[in-house]
Amino acid sequence: MTAALRTEIRKITTTRAWWVNGAVMFAYMLVLAMIMAASFVLSIRSEGSASTGLPGGATLDPESVASSVYTLAVALGYIFPAVLGALVVTSEFRHRTITPTLLAEPRRSLVLTSKLLAVIPFAILVSIAGVLGTVVGGAGTLALMGEPTFLGDPDMVRTIGMSVVALVLWALVGVGFGAVLTNQVAAIVVLLVFTQFVEPLLRILLAQFDATETLSKFLPGAAGEAVAGSSLYVSSGLADLLTAWQGVLVLLGYALVLLVIGRLTTFRRDIG
Amino acid sequence: MTPTFDPAAGVVSVVGLTKRFGAVTAVDDLSFSVAPGRVTGFLGPNGAGKTTTLRMILGLATPDAGTVTIGGIRYADRPRPAHHVGAALETASFHPGRSARDHLRVYAPEVGVSDSRCDEVLALVGLTEAAHRRVGGFSLGMRQRLALATTLLGDPQVLLLDEPANGLDPEGIVWLRQFLRYLADQGRTVLVSSHVLSEVQQTVDDVVIIAKGRLVRASSLADLEAHARPAVRLVSPDVDGLARLIAASGWSEVTRFEAPGVAVIEDHHPAQIGAAAFAQGLEVHELSSAGTSLESLFLELTSSAEVAR
Ligand SMILES: Nc1ncnc2c1ncn2[C@@H]1O[C@H](COP(=O)(O)OP(=O)(O)O)[C@@H](O)[C@H]1O
Ligand SMILES: [Mg+2]
């Protein structure tokens, strides 16, 4: 187990993908948080409250503005850790290194488990980078504009910390997803389309009916926000969330179910 | 220090192996074994099923029928298999962003060796200079060397190499030849596949020849060579002079006449026949090699007629 884990960790450290992922996420989150913080503040000043631009005409108070900005990574940036996780599996197929990998360790379940565990430390670093981007960009902008940052508030600190946890869980979901869809380009495209279009649409649609509203809480994005305990969607009154622990379990569930499906399909077939 | 190996642990045994891809039977009831201490050529034209067979030997593909063991144990059932068996498949695969050394370091923990062993095998295959360069910029020959280095990481007793000479320059082929000989002389089992016999002819002790997934011949190279005989076709307008030359040279036993004035003399080389004809002052219109070379024997063996037998 430790040998397989060390091998998988070295696979990540010897390529650039993980830190490029972290650097891009940091930059993207920084800019996004600056724009969001500034536009919320400006709309509070002009209209007395911040318009979210989301359906229902929801508005935000200054504290919700801060927490919405600090959890932007969980609401909009989880594609980064998800891709990080998926790449751990798909790059082996893209570059056909899965052959030497299975020659060195033919126990395929062990290979997949090691990949899941190996990605965790890198997912933590990437997630911290992303959340740091939102905090630096968001708090910096709020402070510059003379608004409270709420960074001293223990609840806010907890929300920020749990954002990192949610993003790390997203990396695990990514590993499971990569095991199911091993074609790298297809995996990235599907992840992008699902997280950026399908899930947001589903959440708005499902929330319209009482019968399906509960269902929407179990979507992975909603579960991630539940872990962080706050988000733009919630602040805008669009949706309820699960509790943080339920969110953790739902995301872990997605990761493990996907991983098992991958093991029983792609990883049972002839490879290499 | 010469390593010592238990010969029984080095025997690769393929029994009744069959693999179908839809309508294509890539490997068809194939049985053969590979002996330790020898270099074995695994030969067959493109599409014969060599790579598919190797993938099944290595547990990457599941056979539809048959079994494969190395030293009596299936590859996937062996703990730390890379310690016992070093294998490289046809398309050597590397992450282009990794350096050669990092490529090896990735597998080192699973193979159970230290980073210094990575430097050792890089030196063995002559890649020390390129150790820190990204594999993405490597030539095909360098990739082949790195693939070989990967198979050597665990100092394995058994080496299974799929088309290792592909992409090597002539100098590289000579080097590979000597290297494989050196490994076999240490008592290791060395199996090299190729689609051209001439490429490995000077290296191998044994041959396993397949075509269309079936075994055509498994024998020593010497046995195969016994089937390949030189012969010369000699044509002269002087029918009587030709007959006299053959009788006087004592070639009657090995000569057949295709027509008057057209003789095929077996077991002789063109130079011998030409010298004799010149000495007799015989007018010669054609003097050509008509024997079966090892390569043409190989082509003959793997042509469809031979397989159908
Ligand atoms: N994954 C696969 N799917 C379908 N057909 C395959 C697959 N792999 C090999 N084949 C077919 O099996 C036959 C043997 O191929 P291969 O083992 O690669 O031959 P060789 O290595 O001797 O050139 C060929 O007809 C090839 O097209
Ligand atoms: Mg092949």
User: pLDDT band at A234, cuts 50/70/90?
Assistant: low
Is the pLDDT assigned to residue B186 strictly greater than 70? yes
Instruction: Tell me what the mean pLDDT of segment B261-289 comes to.
Output: 89
Instruction: Tell me what the mean pLDDT of segment A24-28 comes to.
Output: 97
Residue of B14, B51, B52, B194 with the most ligand 1 atoms within 8 Å of its CB, for mutation: B52
Task: Tell the burial category of B259 from Cβ atoms under 10 Å away from its Cβ (0-12, 13-18, 19+).
Answer: exposed
Structure-block tokens of residue A27: 């930059």
Measuring CA to CA, which residue among A182, A165, A176 is closest to residue A223? Answer: A165
Pick the more confident residue, A202 or A240.
Answer: A202
How far is Cα A189 from Cα A182, in angstroms, rounded to an integer?
A: 12
Q: What is chain A's mean pLDDT, rounded?
A: 90
Percent pLDDT > 90 in chain A is 69
User: pLDDT band at B156, cuts 50/70/90?
Assistant: very high
Cβ atoms of B92 and B100 closer than 8 Å: no
- Binding site membership of B47 for ligand 1 (Cβ less than 6 Å): yes
Structure-block tokens of residue A258: 């996907």
**pTM of the shown model:** 0.87
Radius of gyration for chain B, computed over Cα atoms and rounded to the nearest angstrom: 24
User: pLDDT band at B266, cuts 50/70/90?
Assistant: confident
Sign of CA dihedral A79, A185, A254, A215: positive
DSSP B134: B
**What would the pLDDT profile of A172-204 be if each residue is shown by its tens digit?**
999 999 999 999 999 999 999 998 889 889 888
Measuring CA to CA, which residue among A83, A48, A74, A30 is closest to residue A233? Answer: A74
- Binding site membership of B48 for ligand 1 (Cβ less than 6 Å): yes
Going by alpha carbons, the residue nearest to atom 11 of ligand 1 is: B26
Going by alpha carbons, the residue nearest to atom 3 of ligand 1 is: B21
H or E element, residue B32: strand B24-34
Instruction: Tell me what the mean pLDDT of segment A28-57 comes to.
Output: 78
For residue B66, the SS3 value is: strand
Pick the more confident residue, B159 or A60.
Answer: B159
Is the pLDDT assigned to residue A227 strictly greater than 60? yes
Instruction: Determine contact: B96 vs chain A, CB below 8 A.
Output: yes
Measuring CA to CA, which residue among A66, A73, A69 is closest to residue A29? Answer: A73
**In the prediction, which pLDDT does B196 show?**
87
**In the prediction, which pLDDT does B308 show?**
42
Structure-block tokens of residue B207: 């041959």
Residue of B14, B19, B20, B21 with the most ligand 1 atoms within 8 Å of its CB, for mutation: B21
Is the pLDDT assigned to residue B290 strictly greater than 90? no
User: Closest to B76 (Cβ–Cβ): which among A11, A101, A106?
Assistant: A106
User: pLDDT band at A238, cuts 50/70/90?
Assistant: low
Radius of gyration for chain A, computed over Cα atoms and rounded to the nearest angstrom: 19
Going by alpha carbons, the residue nearest to atom 8 of ligand 1 is: B52
Own/partner pairs for B121-125, CB < 8 Å, 24+ apart? Answer: B121/B149, B121/B150, B121/B152, B121/B153, B122/B149, B124/B149, B124/B152, B125/B149, B125/B152
**In the prediction, which pLDDT does B137 show?**
94
Sign of CA dihedral B40, B44, B45, B47: negative
Percent pLDDT > 70 in chain A is 92
Q: What angle do CA A152, A157, A161 make, to 5 degrees?
A: 160
**Side-chain-side CA neighbours of residue B256 (13 Å):** 5
Q: Which ligand is nearest to the CA of B52?
A: 1
**In the prediction, which pLDDT does A1 show?**
73
**In the prediction, which pLDDT does B2 show?**
63
**What would the pLDDT profile of A110-155 be if each residue is shown by its tens digit?**
999 999 999 999 999 999 999 999 999 999 999 999 888 999 899 8
Instruction: Tell me what the mean pLDDT of segment B93-108 comes to.
Output: 96
- Ligand 1 atom closest to B48 (CA): 22
Looking at the predicted complex, does its ipTM rise above 0.85? yes
**CB–CB of B93 and A100 under 8 A?**
yes
Residues in chain B: 309
Residues of chain A with Cβ-Cβ distance to B150 below 8 Å are 100
Q: What is the DSSP pairing of strand B12-21 with strand B24-34?
A: antiparallel
User: pLDDT band at A52, cuts 50/70/90?
Assistant: low
Helix A108-144 / helix A244-264 crossing angle, nearest 10 deg: 140
How far is Cα A174 from Cα A85, in angstroms, rounded to an integer?
A: 4
Cα(A164) to centroid(ligand 1), Å: 47
| Ranges of each domain in chain B | 7-221, 229-291
Q: Which amino acid is at B163?
A: E
Q: Which ligand is nearest to the CA of B166?
A: 2
CATH homologous superfamily for the domain B229-291:
UreE, C-terminal domain (3.30.70.790)
Provide CB contacts within 8 A for A131, sequence distance 6+: A29, A70, A73, A160, A163, A164, A167
Percent pLDDT > 70 in chain B is 96
The runs of H, that is alpha helices, within chain A are 2-13, 17-47, 62-70, 72-76, 79-94, 98-104, 108-144, 154-180, 184-193, 199-206, 210-217, 220-228, 232-235, 244-264
Is the pLDDT assigned to residue A235 strictly greater than 70? no
Provide CB contacts within 8 A for B176, sequence distance 6+: B148, B164, B165, B168, B203
**Whether CATH 3.40.50.300 fits B7-221:** yes
**In the prediction, which pLDDT does B258 show?**
86
Cα(A64) to centroid(ligand 2), Å: 62
**CB–CB of A100 and B95 under 8 A?**
no
DSSP B213: T
Beta-bridged to residue B209, according to DSSP, are B43, B217
Q: Which amino acid is at B230?
A: P
- Binding site membership of B52 for ligand 1 (Cβ less than 6 Å): yes
- Binding site membership of B21 for ligand 1 (Cβ less than 6 Å): yes
Q: How far is CA A248 from the centre of its chain?
A: 12
- Ligand 1 atom closest to B53 (CA): 17
Pick the more confident residue, A22 or B296.
Answer: A22
Cβ atoms of B110 and A105 closer than 8 Å: yes
Q: How far is CA B9 from CA A144, B85, B158, in A?
A: 73, 10, 9
CATH topology identical between B7-221 and B229-291: no
**Biggest CA pair distance of chain B:** 78
How far is Cα A197 from Cα B1, in angstroms, rounded to an integer?
A: 64
Measuring CA to CA, which residue among A77, A268, A78, A82 is closest to residue A172? Answer: A82
Instruction: Tell me what the mean pLDDT of segment B194-203 comes to.
Output: 86
How far is Cα A83 from Cα A172, in angstroms, rounded to an integer?
A: 10
Instruction: Tell me what the mean pLDDT of segment B24-49 comes to.
Output: 96
Pick the more confident residue, A144 or B200.
Answer: A144
